Amino acid sequence: MTSSASSTGTDPALPPEAGFVAGSGAAFNDEELRWRENLPFWAVHAAALAGAIWVGFSTTALAWFLGSYAVRMFFVTGVYHRYFSHRAYKTSRWFQFVLALLGASVVQKGPMWWAAHHRWHHKHSDDELDVHSPVRRGFWWSHMIWILAHKYRATETDRVKDLAAFPELRWLDRHEMILAVAYGFVFYFLGGMTGLIWGYFVATVLLWHCTFFINSLCHVWGNRRYETTDTSRNNFFLAILTLGEGWHNNHHHYQRSARQGFYWWEIDISYYVLLLLQQLRLVWDVQGVPAHVRDQVVAPKRQRVAAGPTVAPVAGKH
């Protein structure tokens, strides 16, 4: 991915008439795509394709690919999304840094950049300021083109002041490209060319696009359980691919929850991993979804308030 820049403090989106026209495939100068800046993005795609052909497929390659994809997808869903973006559970400062450091392996910029844009998306989901709304700006823009626009390279630190308070997170955000290269060497050291190509390059490309599908498809394809103010949808197929992120309508209905599969049959592997980490006491206060929120009924406390106070009769008075 492209490297992060320092915060500009500016809004990261413009109305449709001022930028990318939905479905048109044309961007104005304020959202210009600077191809040189994005050479690493395209180089990873090329390395994945050419490397897979050169190294060839094997059971070892499959193991590297599946293992790397699954573990790093959790770093996207359980770390970048549910922790840094939504604070859906708590952890210690040292383990927060470990999570951020491991999260850098997904090569989706730093945790502050990721969280800042995601929080903005929830604040303006599918309205004129949403950075990656497919209903307003088309599939390809919402899928990946917005990431490649120079305008959105900066980390908007004013939106993540809680994260910016930690100098180690600011350091990770500034040096995400160095970390991305370093992880490539780690995969090569552990698995040779097979580990590098299938475990890093091929898995990274699939990791990117399955993450991007939540933006580009989960607002147009799937079912809507809740009448949210946006077009978010639940998609079983994408939930499997992304370890639970496909329950997108659930998530937009109640963003605070670390559990996005609200019912037992809605598979949410990221949530199960978080419960395991809670049992190990590495994280705590993993937020679930209250039954009244899930089932859309009045909360018990509110029912009692609405019914009014019950006054007992005073003894001796008729």
What's the pLDDT score for residue 82?
A: 98
What is the pLDDT at residue 210? 97
Q: CA-CA distance, 141 to 219, in Å (whole number)?
A: 13
Question: pLDDT class for 14, splitting at 50, 70, 90?
Answer: very low
Q: How confident is the model at residue 26 (pLDDT cuts 50, 70, 90)?
A: very low
Binned at pLDDT 50, 70 and 90, residue 310 comes out as very low
Distance of CA 241 to the CA centre of its chain: 13
Average pLDDT of the chain is 87
Q: What pLDDT shows up at residue 24? A: 40
> Which segment of 144-158, 197-211, 273-287 scores lowest on mean pLDDT?
144-158
The answer on pLDDT for 29 being more than 60 is no
- For 115-127, the pLDDT digits (tens) are 999 999 999 998 8
Average pLDDT rounded to a whole number, residues 265-279? 98
Give yes or no for residue 61 having a pLDDT over 80. yes
> What is the mean pLDDT of the segment spanning 92-107?
97
What would the pLDDT profile of 160-180 be if each residue is shown by its tens digit?
A: 999 999 999 999 999 999 999
Name 135's Cβ contacts closer than 8 Å, sequence gap at least 6: 22, 126, 219, 220, 231
- Mean pLDDT over 75-93 rounds to 98
Residue 33: pLDDT band (50, 70, 90) is confident
pLDDT of res. 158 = 93
Count of Cβ atoms closer than 10 Å to residue 85 Cβ: 21
This prediction has a pTM of 0.84
31, 47, 71, 87, 129 from 99: Cα distances, Å: 32, 27, 12, 13, 30
Task: Report the distance separating Cα 151 and Cα 166, nearest Å.
Answer: 25
Least confident window among 3-17, 34-48, 304-318: 3-17
Q: What are phi and psi of 190, to 5 degrees?
A: -80, -35
